[in-house]
Structure 1
Amino acid sequence: MTIVVTGATGTVGRLVVRQLVDSGRKVRAVTRGGAPFPTPIEVVRADLDTPESLTSAFTGAEALLLLCRPATALDVARLAERCGVRRIVTLSSIRAEGERDAPYHLAVERAVESVDVAWTHLRPGMFAANLLGWAEAIRGTGVVREPYSAAAQTPIHEADIAAVAVAALSHDGHAGRKYPLSGPQTLDKPEQLAAIGAGIGRALRFEEISPDDWRARADSLPGFVQDLLLEIWTGSAATPEPVLPTVAEVTGRPARTLAEWAADHAADFGGDPR
């Protein structure tokens, strides 16, 4: 079986490639820049924004990990079907169900569902990797300043998202499934920071600031991103996000903790890499 991975150099894609190779699968890695990969990985330079560029990547493949590109998703899905791809796994979002008025991830899911392939949608919540936004402050002062300290989320290790993707790409029994994914712990912001501290062996401190002060500090983020984050934080402060069992159910192993994630990213936070 040849499996195509789009976004093969991304946060999740690179781990999907690695885990597929480790499991003995034949992998075709799609990148826009033609980044090098070790053998036996086949690399195809193509772009989801230009569907016709993907023909050689899809031809002869049986399964596809598809990133979210709503503008071209239907054309890409139809091309994959014509090229003989029989299974598509989308990297979607746990927020997809709430996008009916302004669909983004949901549009990609619907595009894939409209063609004659088996599909599985992965819907992760908060990526633990989002916390790399704290790395500069942790490296510098060890103090993180943000609003809504009570915002309680379930950060998920990108390796666990990849493991679920590999299962859905490689094995039967996942067709027609929508998999909401979370980490194994609901943690507010000080608890998230403490878990990072435990993972890298440092004492860290969280200080709550007002949303306006945070906006002034976060001026490098587009306004719509600031708005989205504040919406998520206020929502999860009022209603903490639940822990979901999906990772363990699909992979047969518990989801990795945030401290484990931090240990894996120790170098990003100024610590010694494992």
Structure 2
Amino acid sequence: MKKQPNIYFCYPQGKHKALTMSYDDGRRADERLVGIFNRYGIRGTFHINSGLLGGEDRLTAEEAVALYEGHEVSVHTVRHPTLARCPIEAVVEEVLEDRKNLERLFRVPVRGMSYPNGSYSREIKELLPHLGIEYARTVQTHGGFGLPEDWLEWRATCHHNDRLLEHAETFVGLHKRQYLYLMYVWGHSYEFDHDGNWELIERFCETAGGHEDIWYATNIEIADYMQTCRWLKFSAARDFVYNPGAAPIWLDVEGSIVEVPGGSRLNLA
């Protein structure tokens, strides 16, 4: 009987580690933070309250459009309410109107969010897909480097004030290619001003940036890529695969990295 190949999903270009960042509120300190990210090739997602743009210590709409180029902008509701205390009608309005406002500004479909004040419920989670939301980040963390089990209850590795450099050193040193690792950091950029520790994020980006084995991605890019992995159609013998999506997917087939282009069938044995 012919031996069936051992197959693992990989990140783009066959990488097995990914790093993403997640920052809330659209505050002016994002200007300094984005500058640091861009210097080291770090990418992430900025969760914006569209109804508060232009307010005290907030970016204007025009400034936000220019600043976040190359990163993702995501829902954080229009006015930052504590959602679990709100009528469901208010939740619908806060999420959907924020999506609409951000899409008018940035001209891309906005499909993710973070929960303002970390507040959500099972009912809210079940509602979000009907509002076009495909992932949502919580304020809870797990200290590990795994992908989320529930994309609508996405917990980060750590807040940036929680052993960030220790986590970074561990992450950079991970080498077992039988796993897909994800380091996910969240916070608010204004906290660096309040805590006087901008050197923390500088040191983190210097440590974690510029590694060839790390995919630097936004939240939605990771969610989309893993969704496309789930769309792959393997033969029962795993000797060929069909990718019905438009984006390419990379696989580790018996230790060899192969690319499966979108819309194509590829022999694996």
Task: Give the TM-score taking structure 2 as reference length.
Answer: 0.32
Point out the structure with the larger strand share: 2
Point out the structure with the larger helix share: 1
